[in-house]
Amino acid sequence: MDSQQQTPDARLRVTNLTRGTTLATSLEVADSGAKRNKGLLGRKGLDAGGGLWIVPCESVHTFFMRFPLDLVYLDRKNMVRKIRENVPAWRLSVCLSAHSILELPAGTIRATQTQRGDMVEFAPAAEGREGLFG
């Protein structure tokens, strides 16, 4: 699914097709300059099932973050190009072959067994789900 097709507050479900696991059930989409710049700054955390898909994007920083993140870098075909687990505050992470990045709660990569080369799929999230951000 292309991020440009999303409505401003659309939430997505992200599935790792290779592993048969769910990465997020209520993923926000940061597909504008303002949303990409703000990212998760100012938030207190991510609940299980939450996350942010930054598109397009090939690098992120965790300056001023209040909680660690798992990062999943995707190419244009939604193949995992790189993963970074439990990234603490004050770090910079880059993958020049990435087209977008999933920012997920720490522990998501391990729990879903996500690895480089896996394929992920985006679908509309279940109706009635509220934001999972703390």
Residues 74-90 pLDDT 10s: 999 999 999 999 999 99
SS3 37: helix
Over residues 100-117, the mean pLDDT reads: 97
pLDDT at 106: 96
Q: What's the whole-model pTM score?
A: 0.87
pLDDT band at 108 (very low <50, low <70, confident <90, very high): very high
pLDDT band at 6 (very low <50, low <70, confident <90, very high): very low
Which CATH number among 2.60.40.10, 2.60.120.1140, 1.20.58.1880, 3.40.50.2300 corresponds to the domain 12-124?
2.60.120.1140
Whose tokens are 């920083």? That residue is 61
In percent, the amount of the chain with pLDDT more than 70 equals 87
From 77, 55, 65, select the one nearest 121 (Cα to Cα): 77
pLDDT at 127: 62
Distance of alpha carbon 36 from alpha carbon 60, whole angstroms:
10
Distance of alpha carbon 104 from alpha carbon 69, whole angstroms:
6
Do the strands 21-30 and 50-54 form a parallel or antiparallel pair, or are they unpaired?
parallel
Q: Which residues pair with 60 in a beta bridge?
A: 93
pLDDT at 129: 44
Q: Does the pLDDT of residue 1 top 80, yes or no?
A: no
pLDDT band at 36 (very low <50, low <70, confident <90, very high): confident
* Residue 109 DSSP symbol: H
Pick 23 or 43 by higher pLDDT: 23
